[in-house]
Structure 1
Amino acid sequence: MRDLLVTLLFCYGAVKAFKSPYVAALLWAWIGLMNPHRLGWGFAFSLPFAMIAVGLLVVSMMAHPRQVRWPSSGPFSVLVLFLVWMGLTTLAAIHFDESLTSYVNVLKVLGVALLIGCVVQTREQILGFVAVVALSVAFFGIKGGFFTLMTGGSFRVWGPPGSVIADNNELAVALIVTIPLLYYLTLRVEELVKLPFLNRLNPKWLKRGLMLSIALCAASVLGSHSRGALLAISAMAAVLWWRSKSKLTIGIALLMLAPALIMFMPAEWTERMGTIKTYDADASAMGRLNAWTMAFNIANSRILGAGFATDSGLVYRMYAPNPNEVLVAHSIYFQVLGQHGYIGLALFLTFWILTYRTAGRLIAHSRGRPELAWVGDLGSMVKVSLVGFAVGGAFLNLAFWDMPFYLMVIVVVTEKWVKAALGEGQAVASANAGGLKGSGRLEASQ
């Protein structure tokens, strides 16, 4: 039944996608983030929905070129340079075949993110894209939150099977990135209910549902038993409170919710979180330090890095202090450093710094302009999400997971919209001023 439902929904979206590249972008984001076909066990489980969605997006863009606009921005340019650089590091990779396969997958994910930035243009489209991205991931937070509450937090929460966020740690960080976007949607429920896929919902109940989903996502993060996620959600919550306009309300909610959830968790969870202070006695933590040291050694030895495939016995024997413990980097920063060298890491960090600054400019654009309040709120919440990703990603291999790159798409296309709106406003004001001056001169001459 699930397989049939997902297939029917996909087919309906595919028909719409032929008429609109934007719908194709939503279809790709939904399939890529939620992996709905993985929730069944029948014929849909292994169908190439993602490949079909990419094909639909490309075909629709070619069929409707007027709906496609390349946004010129710093993050877009740096991302293109980063993709080119990773192509060079792949050519020089220690394990070429494995690295080439990974590079093709990364190129597909990040390349499609660039294409999405070309087709999301209007205010309604931006809000719709934010909603699809946030709700696709929140689905697992809601499900996991209920599971955590029903089981007393005794079992770990896992993500969609076969996806990048299938592991409990990765899912936790994904939910941390999602929570600020859910909060943003609570601020825009009146506009949300005007979207085609939400237009039957009552604004009041939609807002309550979104607030409940935030609490359940937080419970799911704790239910993941992820130590890195605990640090990330603490940082995210602090920045969320700071960036929120309702500091008193958010502060009270955090002071009530956080202790209640922590006290609810079992002793096993408390003991595991306590190992954050004693990392030197934890085998997992020491294994990560070994992998991080290896990444430094690779970057110091090879300007192009080792390529995407660094978790191999050969690479560990060449560069790791302990060659017998082979692990992935478990950090977006050391992952990129070992795979693509110091230049790759510099491009990676530059990209995220520029994205963060773009979100900051959205806040600046909205100051003194009530009609752009939605822009400022969006910039603030994207900043919060980026902080959560920056902290949580320090302990996980999520450097090329697509959702954070969608945050870049969101702020870039929103800034493009703002510039167009402000440009039109200035043009109208200039035209009106010119008309008044012209009429004054005409009256004087008469």
Structure 2
Amino acid sequence: MINNKLISIIGSGISGLICALILAKSSLCKGYIIQIFENEDRAGGRALSIKFNNSIIDLGAGRFSPTFHPNVSALTNELGKIIEIFPFTKIVLPHPHHHNLKKILTELKPKIKSTCNESFYQFLIRHVGIEKSQNIVNALGYDSLFLPEISPKIAYHIIEMHPETQCFSDNDCFDWFNLVEGFSSLIYSLYEMSIDLGVKFYFNHKLVHFQNNLNNTQLCFSNLEQSKILINSEYTVLTLPPTALSLLNINFPNEWTDFTYGSISLFKGFLFFESPWWKDYGFENKVTIVDNPLRKIYFKSDKYIFFYTDNTYSNFWNEKTQKGESEFLNTVMSLMSKALNISIIELPKPINHFFKFWKHGVEFAKENSLEHPKVLSKNNGKIISTSDAYTSHSGWMEGAIIAGRNGANFILKQLEKSN
């Protein structure tokens, strides 16, 4: 492409789509071609829904709270998406250490101010000892809380802003929702709007490397045929997560920022049965947190059961799936039998199943005590990076919307200066 009046957006997740829409609607972009390059054959990134066994299941983002995620709520309303209650704020078969957990966490929270470069787990050990600390994290169901890069501040953010654990904080009355048609329906609407506004999409285009020139950036892509495609872009917006940026030839993050980044793996497993046997036990639309690799088990109305794990156990399940279907399902049902205290003989066998492993499901800045710049820029603002990892909503669709908006606003300011 010879025309240099190009704005290239790398990545077609929520951030990339929101960025493109804002730019395409602005008069400052008149005369510019706005294009999105995507490595995959679809838009959406970690927002991925599929129809499976006559149910819509979200393999990635799958819930939001209007209180915590006002931008997601506003967007779903604007696009006329039908929402339904995400009911999993009610715990059945309480964990033995759920008793007084809210009281313990409430009493410890003011002591965060005295922490200095210690993890949440170290913080707990310092105040309540090793055994009780292990019990607390196990009872919360999020194993990332054991990680050394998860500070007390981040940990309380996780506890207070997740539906399964908000009952252990003062946020126990907030409602959560998901989309009846799944979050991919939101992506598709944004994609169609972008097309209508003239945004061009190039799928199966992987960014290999780029070179900063005086007035533009030369981008090099490879496609399915392994052909190299060179494009000179006046402005480039990288909406890639930190792990993807680190694989490029740009020495990220060292030459971009003093911040460093971490990631957490996630695993979701879905099980379908001939009949909703869990209703006989009063589990319908409830969640349980257990002390085994299933960690959090959700009983979705009369449709299916799913479990959701992070960190160590997400890797555990990924390894199980690689050993075959039989190994995976036998392990799941054996652990479910123990977790629910129901004989394995009495538990029906699944008639179908599905799973998704996200190696870098959540990415975040480790230096949470500092305010992260809204965008990172190089080449006099000609190339920028924006990500939900740079926001206080890392891993959430809310953060992706904010990141997309931040990227677009930065480019618009650059264009305003040049006019």
Could you tell me the TM-score, scaled by structure 1's length?
A: 0.21
Query: Larger RCO: Structure 1 or Structure 2 (Cα < 8 Å, ≥ 6 residues apart)?
Result: 2
Relative to total residues, which structure has the larger helix share, 1 or 2? 1
Relative to total residues, which structure has the larger strand share, 1 or 2? 2
